[in-house]
Amino acid sequence: MILKKISLSNFRNFKNQELVFNRRLTIVAGENSRGKTNLLEAIYFVLKGQGFREEKEEELINLNFSRGKVTAVFEDNGADNVFEIDIDKSNGKTVKIFFVDRTKKRLILYKKELTSVVLFTPDQINIIKGAPSLRREYFNAVLSERDDEYKKHLNNFENALRRRNRILEKHVSEIKLRDELSFWNDYLEKESRYITEKRSEYVVYLNNHKKLDSKMFSISYLRNDFSKKNLTEVFPKEMALRKTLIGPQKDDFDIIVQDATSKKDIHRYGSRSEERLAVFWLKINELRYFENELGKPILLLDDIFSELDYHNKKIILNLIGQYQTIASTTDEEFLKEIKSDKEIINL
Ligand SMILES: Nc1ncnc2c1ncn2[C@@H]1O[C@H](COP(=O)(O)OP(=O)(O)OP(=O)(O)O)[C@@H](O)[C@H]1O
Ligand SMILES: [Mg+2]
């Protein structure tokens, strides 16, 4: 599926604008605050039904208006299809209405007709730099996107975990506590098994695709099983702290980079560019992963080139070549270096 053009009406800082995209590479250029990220967000929005940085949906509508609209034309097997989302704010409530070829659709059906999208933004460096919860969130998002069962088991697990913690917080005798927990222990063990298995499978997949130019990236899964065996060991401590202490909500992932001279954990020892390349390694594999399942995804790169040297920029440009890519940059000089067929949108 190829994005041919998009029309924005009162979306973020845009009033009325139509933009046309190249089949391979489109560069969105412009100084700070011109709307580069907003344009990428509009593309993301029309593909996913939500933006990637709003706290409230109304933020997507231009500040001075109460209605906004994004319309996109995608080409699929030679035919053009029009996808549109209207956002309407009235009486303090924001609603979105979805259309495919002018026919109203429910979100779930609307999304079924669209390809997937992989987004790469500067703050995703926190997947590497940040707390383990951010890495878990990232893997949850990747796995849920493709696997409804994963989403369901994760949801069940999180709800049951809250129930179990509430029971642990009660001041009751150990016998009563054990009795009340027994159902939830079985349930959590069952639900967590699916989550752990799918995370392991994705880690195996990533480790089968280690190479990025001359570097080798890999990942190790520091899994924390919610098993009867671990539970026996940890239960006295859980009683003292009144909290569940094991399970996939405590998993972490180490991301390692290796070249001819060294091998290191990037979270602890990586330089800024190594962190960025590690995110790129995750993202390029996310693309390949979704490609198998859902056809070719569209790749959105928001301002990711700025911290990379010429060589690393080239690595990225070479790898993204096979996907329709829309990339933003403030770097005029870099634009001259891109020799491939491209469209430049100057905002
Ligand atoms: N709902 C909205 N209505 C009007 N303006 C908005 C809305 N949301 C964001 N903006 C404004 O849109 C402008 C462009 O934002 P955007 O993040 O797209 O800039 P950018 O070109 O990516 O800049 P940078 O190079 O700094 O990343 C900003 O001035 C922002 O405050
Ligand atoms: Mg921006």
Per-residue pLDDT tens digits for 125-169 = 999 999 999 999 999 999 998 899 999 999 999 999 999 999 999
Same domain for 131 and 111, yes or no, is: no
Co-location of 131 and 99 in the same domain? no
% of the chain exceeding 70 in pLDDT: 99
* Euclidean distance between CA atoms 307 and 280, whole angstroms: 13
- CA-32 nearest atom, ligand 1: 25
Q: Write down the pLDDT at residue 167.
A: 95
- Domain contains 27: yes
For residues 176 and 211, membership in a common domain is answered with yes
Q: Are residues 171 and 190 in the same domain?
A: yes
Of 227, 253, 269, the domain-final residue: 269
103 pLDDT exceeds 90? yes
Same domain as 246, residue 319: no
Edge-to-edge strand list for the sheet holding 2-9: 16-20, 2-9, 67-76, 79-90, 93-100, 103-105
Look up the CATH number of the domain holding residue 150.
1.20.1050.90
277 lies in some domain: no
Does one domain contain both 254 and 327?
no
Provide the token pair at 227: 């098993």
Q: Is 35's C-beta closer than 6 angstroms to any atom of ligand 1?
A: yes
Residue 290 belongs to a domain: no
Ligand 2 centroid, distance to 53 Cα (angstroms): 11
What pLDDT was estimated at residue 172?
A: 84
130 and 252 co-located in one domain: yes
158 within a domain of the structure (yes/no): yes
Which residues have CB under 8 Å from 271's CB, separation 6+? none
Instruction: Check pLDDT > 80 for residue 269.
Output: yes
Nearest ligand for residue 330 CA: 1
* Ligand 1: centre distance to CA 135 (Å): 27
Same domain (yes/no): 258, 136: yes
Is there a single domain that holds both residue 104 and residue 138?
A: no
Is the Cβ atom of 302 under 6 angstroms away from ligand 1? no
14 lies in the same domain as 89: yes
275 in any annotated domain: no
Q: Are both 137 and 47 inside the same structural domain?
A: no
As a whole number of angstroms, the distance between CA 189 and CA 192 comes to 5
User: pLDDT value at position 293?
Assistant: 62
284 domain-assigned = no
Strand 25-29 with 342-346, pairing: parallel
Residue 12: give the domain boundaries. Answer: 2-115+296-346
pLDDT digits (tens, 9 = 90+) for 37-94: 999 999 999 999 999 999 999 999 999 999 999 999 999 989 999 999 999 999 889 9
pLDDT tier, 294 (very low <50, low <70, confident <90, very high otherwise):
low
Does residue 288 form part of some domain?
Answer: no
**Token representation of residue 204:** 């195996």
DSSP annotation of 30: -
Q: What stretch of H or E contains 276?
A: helix 272-294
Question: Is the beta carbon of 32 within 6 A of some atom in ligand 1?
Answer: yes
Q: How far apart are CA 196 and CA 198, in angstroms?
A: 6
Name residues whose C-beta falls within 8 Å of residue 313's C-beta, 6 or more positions apart in sequence. 305, 334, 337
Q: Which of 250, 269, 288 is the last residue before a domain boundary?
A: 269
Q: Is 207 annotated as a binding residue?
A: no
How many structural domains comprise the chain? 2
* CATH number of the CATH domain containing 57: 3.40.50.300
In contact, 6 and 47? CB cutoff 8 Å: no
Token reading at 168: 């642990």
Q: Are residues 260 and 136 part of one domain?
A: yes
Using the predicted structure, report yes or no on whether residue 122 has a pLDDT greater than 70: yes
Question: Is there a binding annotation on residue 232?
Answer: no
Residue 287 domain-assigned (yes or no): no
Closest CA to 184 of 208, 205, 160, 200: 160
Q: How many alpha carbons fall within 13 Å on the CB side of residue 191?
A: 20
For residue 292, the model assigns a pLDDT of 66
Q: Would strands 263-265 and 252-258 be described as parallel, antiparallel, or unpaired?
A: antiparallel
The pLDDT, as a whole number, for residue 285 is 93
d(Cα 59, Cα 252) in Å, to the nearest integer? 33
